[in-house]
Amino acid sequence: MSSLPALDLLDAPANGTENDLAGRFVTDRRPRISLQQVTKVYGHGSGAVAALDPIDLSVRPRDFVCLVGASGCGKSTLLNLVAGLDPPTGGRLEVNGRAALMFQESALFPWLTVSGNVELALRLQGVPRMARRTRAAELLHTVHLEGFGRKRPHELSGGMRQRVALARAFAQDADILLMDEPFGALDAMTRDLLHDELEALWRDRDLTVLFVTHNVREAVRLADRIVLLTSRPGRIEAEFPIDIERPRRIESPEVSSLASVITDRLREEVRRHADA
C-alpha cells in the first residue's frame, strides 16, 4: 500500500510489531478504548432509565469501529462516556489518547466565522497564527468548502455546517475520533466524498475511529468492524468483522450484500424488542 504511515512507530522493538489487515505496522497493542462491564443509568428511583447494560468493548489503535443499533439504544450515550462528557454508572472505562468528538448536530460557535471555528481547534494546540490560517484553509479545502472561510455558520446549509464541524474535528489532531452520525444530513454525493476524506485521514495518521450511524451500508463502507447493539438498554448483540478490500464503494455488490445481512439482524433485534 502507498500508505505506510507513522514510520516512527517502527522505532519500537521488532518483536512488538505486527501487521494489521491493511498491512500497516502496529506496535502499541494497548487498546485505545476499553470498556469492561460498563453500564449507564440516567436518573434515580422509579424514573431511572437504564441506557447501557454491561458493555465489554475493546478498540485498538487504528481500528475503525462502527456502532449500529436502533434509535434510543444508547449509541450516543456510549460515545459521550468515552468522550468523558458523562461518567459511567458502573464498570471500568479506559481511554488512551486524546479524543475529538463530532456530534449529531454541528455545534459550531455562531459568533465565529467558518475559518475561526476551525482555527480555534488549532489555537488550543498552540499553533501560531499564520500556520493556523494556512492549515484551516487546507482543511476547508479537504471538506470542499474553499471560499467559505469568512462566512458565519448561519449563512451555511446544514450539510455545509456539518462539513465545517468535520474540518474542526480533523484540526484537533486527536488520536481518537468519536463521530456520532456525522453525515446523516448530507446528500449522497457529499457524503461519499467525505467518506473518502475520512478514510484517507484514518489511513494516513495513527487514528482510531468510533463511528455511530443508522446507515448500515455506511458502516460497511467504512468499518473494520461493526458492533451491533441491542435495543435499550444497549448491550452488544453481535460483532461483524468487515474484510472487504479497500477502497470500497458504498454501492458495490459486496457492501450491499453484507449490509443486508446486518440489516436483517438489526431488524430481528428491533422486532424482538417490540414484542417483548
Ligand X SMILES: Nc1ncnc2c1ncn2[C@@H]1O[C@H](COP(=O)(O)OP(=O)(O)OP(=O)(O)O)[C@@H](O)[C@H]1O
Regarding 74 and contact with ligand X (CB under 6 A), the answer is yes
CB of 112 to ligand X, least distance (A): 27
Q: Using an 8 Å Cβ cutoff, are 174 and 195 in contact? A: no
CB of 208 to ligand X, least distance (A): 20
| Residue of 5, 24, 28, 76 that binds Mg ion (CB under 5 A) | 76
Q: Which is nearer to ligand X, 116 or 233 (CB)?
A: 233
Residue type present at position 237: E
Site for ligand X in 137-196 (CB under 6 A): none
Residue 247 interacting entry, from Mg ion, ligand X, none, C-beta within 5 to 8 Å by type: none
Regarding 48 and contact with ligand X (CB under 6 A), the answer is no
Q: Which stretch binds ligand X (CB under 6 A): 11-19, 22-30, 75-83, 158-166?
A: 75-83
Give φ, ψ of 99 to 5 degrees: -110, 140
Shortest CA distance to 230 belongs to which of 74, 76, 78, 90?
A: 74
Q: Using an 8 Å Cβ cutoff, are 38 and 90 in contact? A: yes
Residue 109 interacting entry, from ligand X, Mg ion, none, C-beta within 5 to 8 Å by type: none
Q: Which stretch binds ligand X (CB under 6 A): 10-18, 41-49, 58-66, 163-171?
A: 41-49
Q: Which stretch binds ligand X (CB under 6 A): 42-50, 55-63, 168-176, 192-200?
A: 42-50
Regarding 27 and contact with Mg ion (CB under 5 A), the answer is no
Q: Which is nearer to ligand X, 73 or 99 (CB)?
A: 73
Q: Which helix (H) or strand (E) holds 132?
A: helix 129-142
Q: Using an 8 Å Cβ cutoff, are 43 and 49 in contact? A: yes
Q: Which is nearer to Mg ion, 16 or 84 (CB)?
A: 84
Taking the C-alpha atoms of residue 202 and residue 62, their distance in angstroms, rounded to an integer, is 7
Q: Which is nearer to Mg ion, 70 or 114 (CB)?
A: 70
3-state helix, strand, coil split of the chain in percent (to 5) is 40, 20, 40
Taking the C-alpha atoms of residue 32 and residue 174, their distance in angstroms, rounded to an integer, is 12
CB of 260 to ligand X, least distance (A): 20
Taking the C-alpha atoms of residue 8 and residue 10, their distance in angstroms, rounded to an integer, is 5
Regarding 75 and contact with ligand X (CB under 6 A), the answer is yes
Q: Using an 8 Å Cβ cutoff, are 40 and 93 in contact? A: no
Regarding 96 and contact with Mg ion (CB under 5 A), the answer is no
Please give the C-alpha separations between residue 44 and each of 48, 74, 78, 119, in angstroms, as whole numbers.
5, 17, 19, 41
Residue 232 interacting entry, from Mg ion, ligand X, none, C-beta within 5 to 8 Å by type: ligand X
Site for ligand X in 230-269 (CB under 6 A): 232
- Residue 238's beta-bridge partner residues? 228
| Residue of 27, 58, 76, 263 that binds ligand X (CB under 6 A) | 76
Taking the C-alpha atoms of residue 52 and residue 211, their distance in angstroms, rounded to an integer, is 17
Helix, strand or coil, per DSSP, at residue 206: coil
Regarding 51 and contact with ligand X (CB under 6 A), the answer is yes
Q: Site residues (CB under 5 A) for Mg ion?
A: 76
Q: Site residues (CB under 6 A) for ligand X?
A: 42-43, 49, 51, 69, 71-77, 232
